[in-house]
Structure 1
């Protein structure tokens, strides 16, 4: 049991939000990483979708928020694969343009198709990326996608966004939050996680922790300026010393994201 709890803490999916019926349990359990993962913004500040119009969150059909996402085109949202697999596609909703979850601002849309790499099995093994193709278009500015690896240099300050927990195991935020975190070198991240894969992952955080993503932030954006470089994926606890957050390296999947976003365009006859 202790081992199972440790895995839950590492996964940055807000499990309590999506387990609203017994039928959901096998789906979520199947998505849990064997290495564990965690994500919400710890040590950050409030933000606004006016400043970050591409930031969205995911809910089940009952409106329970459990992950984040990012608009990559008017009809497509990128998120983590473990988020896309957490609930049935028919029950999945994307909420955009809503800074405060307690309001009815913005727009809520359903998902008509989900793309996840065939190779994905566990966030700790990489390929933790998905594209949600929407049933309606969104009137908000998409994020820019990276064109080269220049934004991945060690020490680059990046911004992580989300509606997740504000402390490990603590309450989830009602409003969008952000935090600034520096990128680590591949060797620095490998020193913290033996399963770190430089092809599919990138790490960010401070040596003493304190500022990080947390449960409920999974799938949310890590950006440099207006460019998406990562998606919240996994880690060991939240904001722990020597345990940086691990993000999906978006550059590795940029061609697939663009292809799926292009194929998501709605056609009206």
Structure 2
């Protein structure tokens, strides 16, 4: 099971296996909040992370309903037949504070049927939880086809995660956040030949310094009170002229909403 896909300088696959039997992550895996600051799930109750049964965190996610989590396809590709291997942790700022928040087993994993490689797009998945979250864990609305205006270049967006604080460094014990500007499609295409504006959006500073990194994959990019992006791939972490690449949620609104509405509410509340 991989973390977020990020490419190294040689564009090599940098895939960390989370100890679960899963397909190898294509491309690269890096995305933690480099240059970020401490954040609280009280302020961002929709921010969750994906973990193994032993609590090892390998990706991020966004609570979209009381029982559904949106994340990156590359985080869970290969686990559809064994969804119980994956857990969602909510309300836990400190990964070591095992008495805080809740840890809920996943009962179903949907991966976009066209997904093969994050660099080709369709890097989106929806997890159905085995129990329903209570009102303490407020979901975040997703961007709709009418929200093109929200993707204007230089719009400031918030990214969140528990990933590495530097490329190849240690993952963060705590939830971190950072604000980054959306980058124009033209500029992002200059940075990445494989960038596809129909399914991807970039965010970051030209000088670098602030970005996601390994372990932030699947986590949210938020602006205007909406989930605009899912942390997907990039080259290194926080490099100059190498912004983070995120799944353009608006482009997958129909498919995501079908999954969010696909099952009845569960009777059990947790939290």
Task: Calculate the TM-score normalised by the size of structure 1.
Answer: 0.89
Aligned mates of 1:162, 1:49 — CA distance in 2: 11
8 Å contact kept, 2:9–2:236: no
Aligned mates of 2:138, 2:84 — CA distance in 1: 25
Per-residue Cα deviation, 1:216-250 (whole angstroms, up to 9, x for no partner): 00000000142110000000000001111000000
Secondary structure at the aligned position of 2:190 is classed as helix
Q: How does 1:100-139 map to 2 (within 5 A)?
A: 100-103=94-97, 104-139=99-134
Q: How does 1:66-145 map to 2 (within 5 A)?
A: 66-85=58-77, 87=79, 88-103=82-97, 104-139=99-134, 140-145=137-142
**Aligned twin of 2:193:** 194
Task: Calculate the TM-score normalised by the size of structure 2.
Answer: 0.89
Aligned mates of 2:225, 2:94 — CA distance in 1: 21
**Aligned twin of 2:149:** 150
Which runs of no fewer than 5 residues in structure 1 stay unpaired?
none
Per-residue Cα deviation, 1:89-115 (whole angstroms, up to 9, x for no partner): 221000011111111211111111111
- Per-residue deviation at 1:37? 4.2
- Per-residue deviation at 1:61? 2.0
Per-residue Cα deviation, 1:24-58 (whole angstroms, up to 9, x for no partner): 3xx242x322xx34210000100000000000000
Secondary structure at the aligned position of 2:258 is classed as helix
- Per-residue deviation at 1:186? 0.6
RMSD between aligned residues: 1.8
- The answer to whether 1:65 aligns with 2:57 is yes
Q: Answer 1 or 2: which has greater helix percent.
A: 1
Corresponding residue pairs, total: 253
- Per-residue deviation at 1:4? 11
Alignment CA distance shift 1:40-1:267 (3 Å): closer
